[in-house]
Amino acid sequence: MELVRLPSPPHVLCKLLDICHDPDSSLGDLADLISIDAALTSKLIMAANSGAFAINQSLKNLEQAVTLIGHAQVKTMVTTASIQQLFAGLIESQKKYICAAWLDSIYCAVFARDIAIALDYKYPQDAYLAGLLHDIGQIVFDAKYHDQYIKIINSTSEAETIAQEISKFGISHTELGAEIIEHWSSLSPAIADAVRFHHEDERQLQGGDILCRIVAEAGQIARHWCRAGSADAQWRSSLIDHKDLNNIYVHVHDTVTQTANKLGIFLPRSTSLTQAQLSKDIERETGKLARKIRDASLIKVISAEEAYPAALNSPDKLLSKVARDMQLYFSISHLALLFHDPETPESLSLHEVRPVDPPCRFSLENSASRAVRSYLEKRLTWIEVEGSDHQKSPMPDRQIIHRLKHHVALCFPIIHADEAIGTIVVGCHKTQRNNLDKLSDIISSYLEDIAETWVNHRPGRGGRGAKSEREQKEIDKLVHEISNPLSVIGNYIDIVNARSGGTGSDKEIGVLKEELQRVRNIVLNFKEGNEPEPEAVMLNAELESSIPLYVKSVSPGLEIQIMWDLDRNDAEIDITRDAFRQIVLNLVKNAIEAQTDDAAIMVSSNNFTNIDGRVYAQFTISDRGRGINTKTRNLLFSPLISTKEGAGRGLGLSVVADILRAFKGQVKYMKNEVGGALFEVSIPLSLKQ
């Protein structure tokens, strides 16, 4: 599967690009459309099972896979797949095969699911996935060896096709598909078995697992249906009675017709989608795909723009980002990083996706090593276990290749302004060298962006730079002028509370004094150029103590209802209390200002969410306003962008985003169920959890 670009019909890619660039689209919208395409589904599952993401759990559905990998990263995967397919320049016979394979897969998937439901099979989604992937072996064969395989696929029977596959490749598409799926530990082994045995005859299937029988029957119905647009009148099911089967035919027709309409394929009334109808519009859809990519300037999407650059602060984290991107963009799983650490300038250290401590170190004086020379000479270099003269390669090269569990590897130096930072080493099978060579230019371009990101945010670089003596004096003066009124306000709070006989809420007085101290801390950190150290903060407790006070202070004279839906368990989060309260204040202020009359804000929390392999706590603050228009949404967290009137408004959301980046968190905007704005904040859980 590595380095084999599995194609998808342009109809699917066009619709996916629309979803990727619609700010109102949801995670479910993206997962639903991926779930109708075997190629993209395989790419997503392969990523979820790769070492780069280390998702060690079973996948219940594709929406869960999108959630675990990350919504934004999956969008980039889809866009990259579209670009690569467009530039691959598929010939006519490839395009027709893509359409035929896609339609056969979707019919088989829907038939398998409906038969499973009719039989009360406990896992209908497994039946759907097995049906969708039942011919993934054929799709891989065609993507890799189209010119040879197109003759095999047009054989007179399935038995003849399988016999020729074994003769030509040493394995059938059924066995290849099953072995691929068996490498994906997040899927049930029953799915692999269903793919392996879906061409067995009924006599052999008797007594076997029910999922194997379901997928075999679904495959038989689908093969006829996607060519003729109806069932084979002579065919009889051994699982479903005639009445139930007719009901399934009607439901599958309706389901696939709705899918076709979603993709912009509108069929005459009562007509089922067939291969001929799907292939007819393929040139038009390919042209549409090209325009979408050109118009949106999507070619620049394959870049290393780091959403949270503060996280790119060590060689292991640098490798982790590259490994995830390479998996999603290029389906590359086996890679390592040779890094030049200034603390050990005489050597390169080998960093692996699953960290090994201590890392191997290779002397820079070992110029016989092609991997070392790739770094020193700043050029792409192949390394192998045995050289062309049948002599063993130098020890470092052999050790790296064995660590990558491959036969050969290509070294990509990471270079910025003629400075070599390190080398990414990609392992592959000997038969994949040509494919990797073809990708080398675009991978090198990607690594140039990675190098720039690393240099701009590397440890020790410093954020603000050295201040001049004059600047420092101005800052000291400003801090002094701010500190005086802060002291007056603190004393006045104590006096007012004492005069009232202490009748003010102890909790609210305490929060006010903490807020005052928070301002002092912000000012002092600015003066010293310090970043606040993370501390354990309890999410629910902070929300419950700060939000009522902020609501009262921001909305005097208004009756603002606070509606709570907090997780039953509290969670410690890695952020300072000062930073957290600044985030909450800005979001509360935004929610109240979005509503004109007495209104409500809704607050919820979820104290365990896995995003991109990392565990976060989340909270949301939403309102009953009118939401935010599309143009503003696209620049929502930029400075000076606002939904409110007046110059210089809208800094609050930019501040929220900046603070969260510093603490490796994130914020997202969504519409809530009443059309108002909902802001979802994710903050890493404390390591104490």
pLDDT at 305: 42
pLDDT band for position 426 (cuts 50, 70, 90): very high
pLDDT at 540: 92
pLDDT at 676: 87
pLDDT at 491: 65
pLDDT band for position 113 (cuts 50, 70, 90): very high
pLDDT higher than 50, residue 647: no
Q: Under DSSP, is residue 83 helix (H, G, I), strand (E, B) or coil?
A: helix
Interval 466-480 mean pLDDT: 63
DSSP collapsed to 3 states, 272-311: CCCHHHHHHCHHHHHHHHHHHHHHCCHHHHCCCCCCCHHH
Of residues 326 and 370, more confidently modeled: 370
Give the DSSP letter of residue 501.
Answer: T
pLDDT band for position 598 (cuts 50, 70, 90): low
pLDDT higher than 70, residue 136: yes
pLDDT higher than 90, residue 482: no
Interval 581-589 mean pLDDT: 89
Reported as a single tens digit per residue, the pLDDT across 277-305 is 888 878 888 888 877 765 544 444 444 34
pLDDT at 173: 96
- Those residues whose C-beta lies under 8 Å from the C-beta of residue 528, and which sit 6 or more positions away, are none
Q: Are 40 and 69 in contact (CB under 8 A)?
A: no
Angle of helix 92-118 relative to helix 282-295, nearest 10 degrees, comes to 100
What type of residue sits at position 277? Answer: Q
d(CA 126, CA 106): 14
pLDDT band for position 518 (cuts 50, 70, 90): low
pLDDT at 308: 44
pLDDT at 268: 79
pLDDT band for position 48 (cuts 50, 70, 90): confident
pLDDT at 603: 95
| Mean pLDDT taken over the chain | 81
- Those residues whose C-beta lies under 8 Å from the C-beta of residue 408, and which sit 6 or more positions away, are 382, 383, 384, 385, 401, 427, 428, 429, 430, 433
- Those residues whose C-beta lies under 8 Å from the C-beta of residue 419, and which sit 6 or more positions away, are 455
Reported as a single tens digit per residue, the pLDDT across 383-409 is 998 866 667 889 999 999 999 988 899
pTM above 0.75, yes or no: no
pLDDT higher than 90, residue 141: yes
pLDDT at 650: 45
Of residues 19 and 221, more confidently modeled: 221
What type of residue sits at position 330? Answer: F
d(CA 649, CA 643): 8
pLDDT higher than 70, residue 180: yes
pLDDT at 612: 67
pLDDT band for position 255 (cuts 50, 70, 90): very high
pLDDT at 52: 73
Give the DSSP letter of residue 55.
Answer: -
Among 104-118, 255-269, 532-546, 613-627, which is the least confidently predicted range? 532-546
pLDDT at 652: 64
Among 125-139, 314-328, 571-585, 673-687, the range with the most confident prediction by mean pLDDT is 125-139
pLDDT higher than 60, residue 415: yes
CA gyration radius for the chain?
29
What proportion of the chain, given as a percentage, has pLDDT over 70?
79
Q: Are 111 and 250 in contact (CB under 8 A)?
A: no
Interval 198-207 mean pLDDT: 88
Nearest to 264 by CA among 251, 253, 276, 277: 277
What type of residue sits at position 55? Answer: I
d(CA 21, CA 44): 19
What's the token pair of residue 572? 């410690």
pLDDT band for position 584 (cuts 50, 70, 90): very high
- Token pair 């379901």 is found at 214
Instruction: Determine how many CB atoms are found less than 10 A away from the CB of residue 354.
Output: 8
Among 11-15, 58-62, 181-185, 318-322, which is the least confidently predicted range? 58-62
pLDDT at 314: 85
Reported as a single tens digit per residue, the pLDDT across 483-510 is 666 666 766 676 666 666 655 566 667 6
Of residues 689 and 629, more confidently modeled: 629
Interval 234-247 mean pLDDT: 91
d(CA 310, CA 319): 15
CA angle 479, 525, 680 (to 5 degrees): 120
Q: Are 225 and 244 in contact (CB under 8 A)?
A: no
pLDDT at 596: 62
- Those residues whose C-beta lies under 8 Å from the C-beta of residue 317, and which sit 6 or more positions away, are 311
Q: Under DSSP, is residue 90 helix (H, G, I), strand (E, B) or coil?
A: coil
Nearest to 514 by CA among 477, 480, 479, 489: 489
pLDDT at 270: 76
